[in-house]
Structure 1
Amino acid sequence: MQYLVAVDGSESSTEALEYAIDLASQTDASLLVAYAVEPRVLVEETGEEAPTNAEVGQRIYTEDIDVAETRGEEVLDDARERAERADVAVETTLLYGSPVDSVAEYAESEAVDGIFVGHRGLSDRVEGMVGSVAKGLVRHATVPVTVVK
């Protein structure tokens, strides 16, 4: 058996990873751990009141792709170390684009037996605006999705 774990560096995704490692170690399964590189849209923090609509455009910027990839590699390195300490076979990969689409497509292309994902990502605010990755994976994945709380 082979499972895919979607990670983003959040506490919730780490809990999903630990759950998958525990299950894999008990069943001799292997893990694919994936991080979806999607540069964040950031708002410059100034400590002032919330900006007006006219000011928002001047304070929003997109994170550099190299920064996003570096962050992803760090998260994957940590995941790899955790799995290896538990003697679980593990491979890691960077995916590109929307986490829901890229993780669901990767799961299908790799014919995994299931996906593990945390119930909350890094940003509650963004999650509220665009919907959660966990919810999207439950809807779009072609294999069972375990949402770890």
Structure 2
Amino acid sequence: MNFIVAMDGSEPAERALDHALTILKPLDAQVTVVHSVEPHVLVEGGDEPVSGVAGTGDRIFAESLEDAEVRAEEVLEAAATRATDAGVEAATELLYGDPVESIPEYAKGVDADGIFVGHRGLDERYEGLVGSVAKELVERASCPVTVVR
């Protein structure tokens, strides 16, 4: 059996990993920890939200792909170590693009038996505007998705 845990470095993703490890260890299942690299657009400084292009000034910048990859590798390495320490065989996979597209596509390609994902990720404000990754994975994945609070 092969399962996927989607990690983004958030506390809910950590809980999803813990839950998956608890369930998968007795099954002697394998887990692949995935992280989808999508560089963040960051807002720095100021107390007021950015309300348009004129108000952005020097406050908005995009994370480089290299920085996003380094951040992702750190998340994956920490998760794989936790899985191994818990006695579950773990692999990692660095994906690229929007996680609501890349994770279901990867799961289908490896014929995954299920996906574990945290209920909320790193940016709840963004999720409120466009919907949560967990919700979209439930809608798009071709295998069962377990959403962990």
TM-score by length of 1: 0.95
State the alpha-carbon separation in 2 of the partners of residues 5 and 56 from structure 1: 36
Aligned to 1:4: 4
> Equivalent residue of 1:50, what SS?
coil
Residue pairs, 1:20-31, within 5 angstroms: 20-31=20-31
Aligned to 2:48: 49
What letter corresponds to residue 80 of structure 1 in structure 2? A
Aligned to 1:88: 88
Aligned to 2:78: 78
1:59 CA drift (Å): 2.5
TM-score by length of 2: 0.95
1:70 CA drift (Å): 0.5
Residue pairs, 1:46-125, within 5 angstroms: 46=46, 48-53=47-52, 54-56=54-56, 58-125=58-125
> Equivalent residue of 2:16, what SS?
helix
Could you list the per-position Cα deviations for residues 67-98 of structure 1 after superposition, in whole angstroms to 9, with x for gaps in the alignment?
A: 10011000001101101111111100110000
Aligned residues: 148
State the alpha-carbon separation in 1 of the partners of residues 45 and 148 from structure 2: 32
Could you list the per-position Cα deviations for residues 36-87 of structure 1 after superposition, in whole angstroms to 9, with x for gaps in the alignment?
A: 00001111223x3334422126422211111100110000011011011111
RMSD over aligned Cα atoms: 1.2
State the alpha-carbon separation in 2 of the partners of residues 104 and 24 from structure 1: 20
Question: Identity of counterpart residues, as a percentage?
Answer: 51
What letter corresponds to residue 103 of structure 2 in structure 1? V
Aligned to 2:139: 139
State the alpha-carbon separation in 1 of the partners of residues 116 and 48 from structure 2: 38
What letter corresponds to residue 49 of structure 2 in structure 1? A
Using the TM superposition, name which of 104-113 and 36-45 deviates more: 36-45
Q: Which contiguous aligned blocks of 4+ residues in structure 1 show a shift greater than 4 angstroms?
A: none
Could you list the per-position Cα deviations for residues 16-37 of structure 1 after superposition, in whole angstroms to 9, with x for gaps in the alignment?
A: 0011111110111110100000
